[in-house]
Chain A
Amino acid sequence: MTTATLSDTIGADMEATIARTTWRYWLALLFAAGMTALGIWAWVQILQDGFGLTGLNTPVMWGSFITNFVFFIGVSHAGTLVSAILYFTKSPIRAGVGRSAEAMTVIAIMTAGLFPIIHLGRAWLGFWLMPYPNQRQLWPNFHSPLIWDVFAISSYVTISALFLYMGMLPDLSSLSRRVRGVRKYVYRVLSLGFSESDGEWALFERAYPIFALVVIPLAVSVHSVVSWDFAMALTPGWHSTIFAPYFVAGAIFSGVAMAIILLSLLRRGYKLQAYIQEKHFDALAKLMLSMSLIMTFVYCTEIFMAFYHGESVEIDLYIWRMTGPSAPLFWSVIFCNSVVPLACFWRKIRFDLRALIAISVLVTIGMWLERYMIVVTSLSHGADPATWGSYFPSFHEILITVGACGWFALWFMVFVKFFPCISISETKQAQVAFSTVPSAGTEDSSEEPHDA
C-alpha cells in the first residue's frame, strides 16, 4: 500500500465516525440528554426551595457535590497529562489514545466546574468568586483555597482546551478538504487556515510542545490545589500534607480508568480496532496498576501518619472510619482501588478487554467512593463529639449526580460527532514511522495480542 492510499484509508475511517450516525448513537444521545435534564430539574428545585433539599446538615456541609467535583477533576487529569507525557516520550500509543483523552479532560472539567456553582448556597452570586472590579470594592480572599480553585480550574480548562484544539488543527484542515457543505466552511474556519505546508508544519511542531510542556506541571498543580481545599482545613481527616500527591495520584488513577472505559467504547462503537490497539490498553493497564500501587502506599502512609502524630482526634477518626458505621465504605474503597487492580499484574488480564473494563469500572466507583469517604466521614466525625452526625445524599443530589454523568456523556458524544476522536495526522505519522500497516478496520485484530 502506498502512503497516499494509507492516508486515505485512515482519513476515511475517521471521517466515518463523524459522518455515520446510527440509531444507536441517537438513542445514546437521547439517553444522556435525558439524564442531564433530570439533573437540571433537580438543581432548579434546589435553587427554588433551598439547600434543605440536599441531605447535607450541620456537621456535614459538603457532600455529593464536592465529591463529584473532585471526582471529575480527577477524571480530567489523566487525559491531558497522559497525552502530554506520551508526546514527550514519543510513545507510539499516543496516536490512538491522545485525542479522546484530551477531549475527556476538557469535558470532565466542564462537568467538574459545574459543581462548585451548584454547591453554592446562593449560586446566583457565584460570580462573586471571580476577581473583577465591582461596586463592592472587594477582591476575593486570596487566602481561601476556594479562590485558588477558581484560578487553577480556569487555567486548566483554558490550557487543556487550547492543547486539544491546537492538536486538532491539522485534522480540521484535512477534514475541511474531505467534507462538503456547511461543514467544510466550519472546519476551514476552525482550522485557522492551516494548510499543511512545510512551513506551517515546522511552526506547529515548535508550538505544540510548548503547550504539552505547560500542561504537565499545570495538571499536577491543579489537583494539588483541589486537594488543598481539604488539606488547608483544620478538619481531622483532611488536614494532612500528603493530600497533594495523594490527589494527583488518585486523579491519574481514576483518569486512566475512565480513559480505558471511553476508549473501549469508542473502539467498539466505531470499529477502531486498527487504531486503538490492544497494546494501547496494555500500556494504560500498566499505568493504572502502578497508580494503584501508589494509592495503596498513600493509604498506608495516611493512616500511619494519623497514628504517628498522636493526635487523638485524628486517631479516633481513622479508627472510626475503618470500624464504625462507615467501615463498608472504607473497605470497598480499599477493595476497588488497592486489591482489584492487582489483577493487572497478569499479562492475560491486561489483554482481556472485558476484564480491563470491569477493573476500570470498579476503580472508577472506588475512586468516587474514596472522595465521598474523605469528604463525608471527616466532616461527620469532627473535633467536638457533640456535633457528630451523618449524611446520605438525598434524592435531589442523586439526580444531580446522574445528571452530571449524563452531561459528561452528552458532551463526549457531541465531540466525537464533530471532531476526529483519534488524531488523523499522528496516526498517519505513526503508521509511516513504524510501518505497522493496519488492515483498516476490515479485520478484527483483538484476538492476537500485539506487544508494544
Chain B
Amino acid sequence: MIIKDNITRRNFIATTSVAAAGAATLTGCRERAIRHIVPWVNPPDDAIPGIPLFYNTICRECTAGCGMSARTREGRVVKLEGNPEHPIGRGALCVRGQAAIEGLYHPERLGGPMLRAQDGSEQSSVTWDAAEAALGDALSRAIDHDAPIYVLTRPEPGALGGLFGAWLTALGQQPDQQISFDPLEPTWTREAGQRTFAASDRPNYRLGRARMLLSIGADFLEDWGSPVEHARGLADMQAGRREGETRFVYVGPRLSLTAAAADRWLSVRPGSEIHLVLGLARYVLEQGGAGVSSLPGPAAASLARKLAGYTPQGTAERTGLDASDITSLGRQLVRARPSLVLGPGRSVAGSNAVALASAVHVLNALTGAIGDTVRWPQRVEETQQGAESELTHLVERARRGRIGVLVVHHTDPLRFGAAFDQFERALEQVDFLAVIGHRLDGLARRANVVLPDHHFLESWSTLETRPGVMGIQQPTMTPLLETKAAADVLIAAARSIERADGLPYGTFAESIHDEHDPQDLQRGGVFEQAPLRVVSLTDDPLPMPLEDASLEGPDDGLALSVFPSLRQTGDGRPADDLLSEIPDPLTLISWSGWVELHPATAATLGLATRDVVRVDAGQRQLELPVYVHPGVREGIAGIPAPFATDLLTSGAQPALGLVSRVSLSKTGAVALLPRSQTTENQAGRELAMTTRELTARGRHVRRLSMYPTPERGAHRWGLVVDLDRCNGCSSCVAACYVENNSAIVGPEETANRRTMNWMRIERFMEGSPEHPDARFMPAMCQQCTNAPCESVCPVYATYHTSDGINGEIYNRCVGTRYCENNCPYQARRFNWYDRPRSERARLALNPDVTVRERGVTEKCTFCIQRIRAGKEQAKIDGKPILDGDITPACAQTCPTGALVFGDLQDPASRVSRLAAGDRAYHLFEELNTIPGVVYLARRRVEIER
C-alpha cells in the first residue's frame, strides 16, 4: 500500500511521516538501553572505552572476605581477580570467588520487588514505593501491636550489620532481635576457646611459620574459615622444604583436598579423634614440649591428672592406629618448633566437638604454639555491630507469640535441611516476612515482600573479617537491574513511618563513602597490624567429659562423614552452573553429589561406582550415586556437605559432619555421574612426578635435533607449574572459564567428555591402596615449540607466534579436528554446539576474547589478550616488559603461587630460574615438542613409621 506506482505529493508525505514517527518511537524505546551501554558509577574523567578499569572491593561469597579487584570494561564487570593489597587473599581468589561473577549476571536475578497481595494469594511485581510502603505498614502495625520485629542476616560483621542494629533500635526494638545466622560456623572452636583460654573469638593461625602441622580433620583448603589464606600459608610452609624439613599430617576419615596436600594421611576409628589428640598431648607433656614449662600451675596439674590415662598403647587401641604412629607424631610435635595443630574440622566434628576442640587447644598450648602460630588479636570494641544472637532466640520467641515482621537478609535456614524444623514452625508465627535476596527461590517464595538487593559487586558495605582487616565493599558498576540496596530499603521503610532516628540522613552508600579516605577506597580497605593479646590456659582447660563422638543410627551402619566441598555456597543455595561444571578435584565428579565408599566397603555391600543408593539415616533418606575409591576409610560413607543437607535430622547442627550412622541400600538405578576423567591413575607414565621419581628417571636430553632452532621474537612466554604448591583447588580453572568466555556444557555433555575447559586439573591416584597418594596436575596447552597441532592444520588456523605461543584464529578454523587428535596433551577443545547465552550472561563476556562458533576448535593461549595488553602498555610507556607485568588469569588467581608466568628467554625471570632448577621437567619430553610449560616435581615426604 505504501509504495504505489504513482507517487503523489500527498501519499509521499503520508508515507514519510509514518516512517518518521516509527523511527521516533523506536528511538524512544531504545533510550534506556542506550543510556546503559556505558553505565558508569561516576563517569571517571580518564576512562577510555576498551581500556579496563579496576575497582577494589571484597568478596562476599563466604565469610573469609578476601580482597577482590573487579576488572570492568565499559562499565561492566567482566572478571574478578584478587586484590594484591588485601592481607587475606593477597591477590588470589578461590574457585567460588572466581565464579561469583555468575551470580551478578544470573538470569534468575530479580529485577524488582515482589509483593504478595493482601489476600495472600500471589506474589506480583510492584514498584519500589509500593514495596517500601508495604514494609512500612507492616512495621507500624507490628509496633502498634507490640509484636517484635526481627532481622535475620548472614554474618555481617561490618557497616551493614551495624545498620541493622541501628534500624532495630530506631524502631524501638531490642538489639538481640538481630540474628546472625551462620549455620556452617564451627561454633565449637569458640566455645572451646572460652573454656580453655577464656577467649571465645577466633585466633589467627599462621600456617606459613609452622614446621609441623597436624590437622584434625580441618579441611582448611576447602572451608574452615579462610581457604585462600590457609592455602597460601600451607604452601609457604611446604615451599623450599627439603626432604624432612617440615611435616604436614592430616587425620580424618577421608583423603580430602587438604589431606592430599599432606605428607601423610591417617584415619582413625570415626569418633575417636579426641583420643589421638589427648594421647599426643600426654606424650608432649611427658617429653617436655616447648609450651610445657610455661603452663600455669593449676592447668599443668589438672592436665597431668586428666591426661595420665592416655598412654600411646591405650590411644592406639582406641583409635586403631599403631602405637608407633602416635609416638612418632608426638616426637615430631615436640621437636618441630613451632608446630601447629588445627581442628577439628567439619568432617570429624561430632557430639564431642567442643571437647575435641579444647583438646586441640591444649595440645597447641603444650607444644608452645600459642602466641606463635596461634595468636589472638586484641579484641575490638563492638561499636558498629549490634548484639547478634542465635536463631534459637527467634524460635523461642515465636513459641511465645506472634512475630510482627521478620526481615531475612541473604540467608535461608530452610536450605540447611531438616535441622530447621523449628524455624519452619517459627515462620508460621510471622505476620509479615520480608526477604532481601537476589532470586525468587527458597524462602523468598514464602515472603510477603521480596526486596531484591544489589549484588555485592554493586553495593556498599564494610566487612571486618578480623581485627585489623576491614575490607570496604564498594560498587564496581551501576546496578544491572532495578534493585535497591538492602540498607536503603530499610531506611526508607523506617522513614515512611517516621521512625528513622539515628539512621543515616542520606543513603547508606553516602554514609560509607563519606566515612573513608579515598586512598582506603582505592586500596579496598583499611589494613592494620592488630595488637595481640596474651592468653593462657584456664585452671581446668578440659572441664567436659572426654569421650568419643557418639553416632546416632543403626549400629551396623556406616559412619556418615559430611565433608566440606568447594561447591559449598554460604547460603546453602545449590551451586550455579560454573561451580557445578568444574569437577570436584578429588573425585572428578561434576554436576552431582555422591557417596564415597572404600573399595572394601563397596565390595561388602555389592556396590560399584554410579550405582544409586538410598542413604538411610533413620528419620531421613536420600538417594545418591556411589563413588568408590581408596581415599576414604573403610566403614565410612562420605557425602559432600552441599548434598547432605536432606539427611540432617531435627535438632542437628549442619556444621557437624560426624553425627550419624547410615545404612545404604541399592536402588538398582545407575546414575550418569559425570566425571572429567574416567581413569584413576597415570598408568605408570611420567606425568605428575615426585622429585624422587624424577631423579630416578634422570633428565632427558633437551635438544637433540636435526632441525635448526626455530626463530624467536623478543620473548618466549612460559608457565611454570609447581606441583609441590598445587593443591588442586581449581580456582585457576574457574578463572580460565571466566576470562576466556568458555562455554558451560551441562551434565550430559560433561559425561560425554565435551567440556570446553581450556585448563583442567588432572588427578592421579598413585601409591598403594592402603596409602593412596592423590596427585594433582594442572594441564593446559603446553605451547610447544615444535607444536604437533600447527603442522597438521590445513588452513593455518593455528599458527606459531613470534613469542612462542600456539595462536589460534577461530575464524579461520574449518573444524577438521586434526589438531586435537595430534595434541599429545589433549589441550584443545572443539565446539560441538553453539551455546547460546542469556542476555544478561552476555554482559559478563570478556570483550577481549572472541566467543567461538560451533564447529571450530579452541585452546589456551596463555591469555594472549593479556600479553597483548601488557606489550602495548609497555610500548606506550616506552619501557621494556618487566617480569611479572603480564599474568594470565590462572596464574593471577592461584592462592599458592603454583603457577608462575614469564619470559623463558630472559635468564633473570622467575620462570627461567625455576625452569633451570632440579625439579623442572616437561610432559612427554621424548616427543620433542619442547613445551613452554614447565612442571616442577612434587617433593613428597614419607614419614617414618
Listed in ascending order, the chain A residues whose CB lies under 8 Å from chain B are: 49-52, 56-59, 61-62, 116, 119-123, 125-126, 128-129, 136, 138, 140-141, 143-147, 150, 229, 232-235, 311-313, 316, 379, 382-389
Contacts and interface: CB of A to CB of B under 8 A. Distances in A.
Contacts of B853: 122
Interface of B: 677-679, 681-685, 687, 749, 752-755, 760, 762-764, 777, 779, 788, 791-796, 812-818, 820-822, 824-826, 829-834, 853-857, 923-924, 926-927
A226 to B, nearest CB: 13
Contacts of B926: 311
Contacts of B818: 61, 144-146, 229, 233
A61 B825 CA distance: 14
Given A121-B854, A122-B856, A128 B795 contact: yes
B875 to A, nearest CB: 26
A150 B814 CA distance: 14
Which of B779, B814, B824 has the largest count of A CB atoms less than 10 A from its CB? B814
A129 B755 CA distance: 28
Given A120-B855, A144-B791, A385-B682, A379 B821 contact: yes
A383 B924 contact: yes
Contacts of A59: 753, 826
A58 B754 contact: yes
B523 to A, nearest CB: 41
A100 to B, nearest CB: 33
Given A50-B854, A51-B815, A146 B762 contact: no
Closest 3 CB pairs of A and B: A121-B815, A121-B855, A52-B832
Nearest to A148: B794
Contact of B677 (A49, A119, A311, A386): A386
Contact of B833 (A52, A129, A147): A52
B754 A383 contact: no
B681 A50 contact: no
A121 B813 contact: yes
Contact of B795 (A49, A116, A138): A138
Given A141-B796, A383-B825, 11 more contacts: A51-B815, A51-B833, A58-B754, A58-B820, A147-B794, A233-B792, A234-B822, A312-B684, A316-B683, A384-B826, A386-B677
Contact of A61 (B794, B830, B927): B830
A235 B682 contact: no
A250 B116 CA distance: 75
Contacts of A234: 788, 822, 824, 927
B833 A50 contact: yes
Contacts of B830: 51, 56, 58, 61, 121
A312 B685 contact: yes
Nearest to A236: B824
Contact of A382 (B682, B752, B796, B824): B824
A50 B754 contact: no
Contacts of B822: 233-235
Contacts of A128: 794-795, 812, 814
22 contacts: A49-B833, A51-B815, A51-B832, A51-B833, A56-B817, A58-B753, A59-B753, A121-B857, A122-B855, A128-B812, A141-B791, A141-B796, A150-B794, A234-B788, A234-B822, A311-B926, A379-B821, A384-B825, A385-B679, A386-B760, A386-B762, A386-B779
B820 A140 contact: no
Contacts of B815: 51, 120-123
Nearest to A379: B821
A382 B813 CA distance: 24
Contacts of A387: 677, 826
B834 A233 contact: no
Nearest to B588: A386
B815 to A, nearest CB: 2
A125 B684 CA distance: 42
Contacts of A58: 753-755, 820, 826, 829-830
Contacts of B794: 128-129, 140-141, 144, 146-147, 150
Contact of A52 (B754, B779, B791, B824): B754
Contacts of B763: 386
Contact of B820 (A61, A119, A120, A386): A61
B793 A384 contact: no
Contact of B792 (A50, A56, A129, A144): A144
Nearest to A49: B833
B752 A57 contact: yes
Contacts of B796: 138, 140-141
A123 B856 CA distance: 11
A43 B684 CA distance: 41
Contacts of A51: 815, 830, 832-833, 854-855
A124 to B, nearest CB: 9
Contacts of B753: 57-59, 389
Nearest to A117: B814
Contacts of A62: 817, 821
B765 to A, nearest CB: 11
Nearest to A387: B826
B821 A146 contact: no
A145 B821 contact: no
Which of A57, A116, A138, A311 has the largest count of B CB atoms less than 10 A from its CB? A57
A234 B820 CA distance: 11
A223 B830 CA distance: 28
A151 to B, nearest CB: 11
B764 A386 contact: yes
Contacts of A233: 788, 792, 818, 821-822
A119 B814 CA distance: 10
B793 A144 contact: yes
Nearest to B791: A143
Which of A120, A312, A386 has the largest count of B CB atoms less than 10 A from its CB? A386
Given A385-B681, A385-B683, A61 B924 contact: no
A57 B754 contact: yes
A150 B777 CA distance: 39
A129 B793 CA distance: 10
A129 B814 contact: yes
A313 B924 CA distance: 10
A122 B684 CA distance: 38
Given A57-B754, A122-B813, A383 B824 contact: yes
A132 to B, nearest CB: 12
Nearest to A145: B792
A344 B825 CA distance: 46
A316 B686 CA distance: 14
Nearest to A55: B752
A386 B682 contact: yes
Contacts of B857: 121
A239 to B, nearest CB: 10
Contact of B855 (A50, A57, A138): A50
Which of B677, B754, B792 has the largest count of A CB atoms less than 10 A from its CB? B792
Given A128-B814, A129-B795, A233-B788, A388 B679 contact: yes
A141 B794 CA distance: 5
B138 to A, nearest CB: 51
B788 to A, nearest CB: 5
Which of A56, A61, A126 has the largest count of B CB atoms less than 10 A from its CB? A61
Nearest to B786: A234
A143 B796 CA distance: 10
Contacts of A382: 824, 826
A59 B821 CA distance: 7
Contacts of A125: 814
A165 to B, nearest CB: 30
Contacts of A52: 749, 754, 832-833
A393 B294 CA distance: 73
Nearest to B749: A52
A406 B161 CA distance: 74
B824 A384 contact: yes
A67 to B, nearest CB: 14
A141 B796 CA distance: 6
Contacts of B777: 386
Contacts of B793: 141, 144
